[in-house]
Amino acid sequence: MDMRTPLKKVRGLGASRGGTEHFWVQRMTAVALVPLTIFFVIFIIANAGKSYEDVTAALANPFAAVLIGLMVIAGLFHMRIGMQEIIDDYIHNELLKLCALMANTFFSILMGALCLFALVKIAFVG
């Protein structure tokens, strides 16, 4: 017996009222991360063994800085949603779940801010 209203059936909203949004965002970030990760690995291999000045000059290239920034953002978004799913599935104590979800979000924001600050500082200051 389905307890959802006809409107919820049409909108695709389940008990969490989130529908499939997390599912699609997780898949979209995964697809975005494929070329971004390939670029990042090529960038690391190309700059392996180079001096600090050479690597910072390579990171100062707007194309490289933007792609690495996008990788950081997509990666952290992907990580946050994945961890949120794990927390939702395996932590059953509501207070602990709330604390874990908050810590997950704060950690993602903190790591994103630190990574992007470092990238911007290298790209603009050198």
Q: Is there a domain that residue 62 lies in?
A: yes
Taking all residues of the chain, what is their mean pLDDT, rounded to a whole number?
Answer: 89
Cβ proximity of 111 and 76 under 8 Å: yes
- Is residue 6 in a domain? no
Q: In which domain, by residue range, is 36 found?
A: 21-124
> For the ranges 14-18, 26-30, 33-37, 95-99, which has the lowest average pLDDT?
14-18
- CATH of residue 39's domain is 1.20.1300.10
Within-domain flag for 9 = no
Reported pTM: 0.79
Whether residue 77 is contained in a domain is answered as yes
Q: What's the helix, strand, coil split of the chain in %, to 5?
A: 80, 0, 20
Q: Is residue 108 a contact partner of residue 56, using CB atoms and an 8 Å limit?
A: no
pLDDT in tens, 74-113: 999 999 999 999 999 999 999 999 999 999 999 999 999 9
Q: What was the pLDDT predicted at 2?
A: 67
Q: Which of 4-13, 31-40, 75-84 has the lowest mean pLDDT?
A: 4-13
Number of structural domains found in the chain: 1
